[in-house]
Structure 1
């Protein structure tokens, strides 16, 4: 039997990761500038700035929190998806699994880009960040669609405390 509401750990991780990702998006330019400086002087250990260190630590934290969230997802009951057309169900499922893949993979690719160093991996990290922004918009739009258009108020509420 599936739950009707996400558990407190699910909710805490969802919102903590959402805030951390928002911070990463806002301050991503600091890491980009540090990476560009590093690529001009390829010595190991160069390029670290306060912004780069913050970005790296927060990115690693997001990756770890997402692994925790994935473990919870795979080991606990979650609410069933709302009744929707097949296309909406497919997009919703794909969006959620892409969040896991991207938010676990991005810190790894970012670290590899920094420590190898690799312009190609940095570009993959950057492009994936843009895909992530698109997924965030799609995720929010889906929640708002269910709440305001489809009239399924429970969808939005199941990720909100109380």
Structure 2
């Protein structure tokens, strides 16, 4: 039986991509509850049940992201991914590969460092979580969106369709 190259991501891969994107944006944008809890703990002030509940939402969403990442990574290993479009210059193909690997690393590192801070009090990993890793994630998201738009409107490739409606 002949092997056919993948033209788009599978439906489960696309659903996981967009579900993770929503959860990641939620945690990036609505991190006030966790930040407030962290300030109270750092100052040794009283933490109210509402403070813990707000921080827990952030933590549980982060744990969900970690679990979804593991499922998504497994699907990618089993089902593969479409090849980069021929129109994409070789250097940018390499950059895209590195960016995707960095995304997967962050999808693992962000929850693990957050867990280390929230549940185990590791200040160093908590700093990494809320500082450099968070900044790197924001930068990658912006570059990822810009790259998708360049593919759509400049190179006129099907990259965006592969992750939305499928090709």
TM > 0.5: yes
Give the 5 Å matches for 1:7-156.
7-41=10-44, 49-83=52-86, 84-126=88-130, 127-152=132-157, 154-156=158-160
Count of residue pairs brought into register by the alignment = 159
TM (norm. structure 1) is 0.91
Question: Which region of structure 1 is more displaced relative to structure 2, 55-64 or 127-136?
Answer: 127-136
Return 78-87 or 13-22, whichever deviates more: 78-87
Q: Scaled by the length of structure 2, what TM-score is found?
A: 0.88
1: CA distance between counterparts of 2:39 and 2:6? Answer: 47
Deviations 1:81-131 (A, max 9, x none): 112112211110111111111011111111111223132211100121111
Deviations 1:1-57 (A, max 9, x none): 3210110000000000001111111111221121121223399xx995222010000
**How many angstroms apart in 2 are the aligned matches of 1:102 and 1:63?**
10
- Shift, 1:71, TM fit: 0.3
CA distance in 1, matches of 2:34, 2:5: 42
